[in-house]
Amino acid sequence: MLDHLVLACPDLAGAVADFQRRTGVRPVVGGRHVGRGTVSHLVSLGGRAYLEIIGPDPEQCELDQPRPFGIDTLDRPRLVAWAVRVKGIEDWAARAREHGFDPGPVQRMSRRTADGELLEWQVTSRGLNRGDLVPFLIDWGATPHPTNRPLPVVPLIELTGTHPEPEAVRVALRALGVEMKVFPGERAALTASVSSRYGRVVLA
């Protein structure tokens, strides 16, 4: 089940303002990823799915590793990744390996919300980098899901991908037990369409 989409950007304030201009909806503050140099804003995509707009955190300037999702190399906002929500992430990862796809090791992550609450979750590492259409798995455990909080809503219409080798992506998706339309293309890219007060808006 889709958990969230990741729209990464080099300038978070600019990306949030642009999203509001295009959709008529202003994302709300999600929180800081301490030690990873990023901060996020969120909007609901309907149901228990959401869009995370993530960019550099000006309060975290000194890092010992690059920011996730290739943020340091971006020159504009890009839809770079998507996550599938599961329970029992280690078992899901093991089943995917049995079906010929390794989703990578499971990592623990966390962030602080705007009101100081610590959210903690687990993810698989494959799919966390730009250019990989395969989703990463996420298990929220006992942590309340971000959509439990009031979020502005921009309903998701469709999520698709393009890739030079679409069948290879489809094999990985089947191993994970998830679906997405993947078409031939010159490069790996995700495209999401959302419904706004101004009509259909495409995020890519």
**pLDDT value at position 86?**
98
Query: What is d(CA 170, CA 203) in angstroms, rounded to the nearest whole number?
Result: 22
Alpha-helical segments (H) within 33-113: 89-98
pLDDT in tens, 141-184: 999 999 999 999 999 999 999 999 999 999 999 999 999 999 99
Per the structure, the complete domain to which residue 43 belongs is given by: 2-203
User: Given phi > 0 = left and psi -120 to 50 = alpha, else beta, which region is 52?
Assistant: beta
What is the domain count for the chain? 1
Helices 89-98, 166-176: axis angle to 10 degrees equals 130
CATH of the domain at 67: 3.10.180.10
Calculate ∠ Cα 36-144-3, nearest 5°.
Answer: 70
Most confident of 5-19, 27-41, 51-65, 108-122: 5-19
> Quick one: pLDDT band at residue 22, thresholds 50, 70, 90?
very high
Query: What is d(CA 150, CA 114) in angstroms, rounded to the nearest whole number?
Result: 13
**pLDDT value at position 112?**
83
CB 101 within 8 A of CB 172: yes
The proportion of the chain whose per-residue pLDDT surpasses 70, expressed as a percent, equals 99
Kindly report which listed range (43-57, 99-113, 187-201) carries the lowest average pLDDT score: 99-113
**pLDDT value at position 101?**
94
Tell me the mean pLDDT in the region 30-59.
94
pLDDT in tens, 86-141: 999 999 999 999 999 999 999 999 888 888 888 999 999 987 766 679 999 999 99
CB 166 within 8 A of CB 137: no
Q: Which residues is 162 bridged to in the sheet?
A: 183, 189
Centre a 10 Å sphere on the Cβ of residue 188 and count the other Cβ atoms it contains.
Answer: 19
